[in-house]
Amino acid sequence: MDDDNRQRRGDLDSSPYHRKRRICAFCVEKVSEIDYKQHEVLRRYLTEHGRIRPRRQTGTCAKHQRSLAKAVKRARHIALLPFVVD
Task: Parse the chain into domains and list their residue ranges.
Answer: 22-86
The b/e string for 20-39 (b: 16+ C-beta within 10 A; e otherwise) is eeeebbbeeeeeeebebeeb
pLDDT in tens, the chain (86 residues): 555 554 555 555 566 777 777 899 999 999 999 999 999 999 999 999 999 999 999 999 999 999 999 999 999 999 999 998 87
Query: pTM for this one?
Result: 0.75
* Beta carbons of 13 and 48 less than 8 angstroms apart: no
Q: Identify the CATH homologous superfamily for domain 22-86.
A: Ribosomal protein S18 (4.10.640.10)
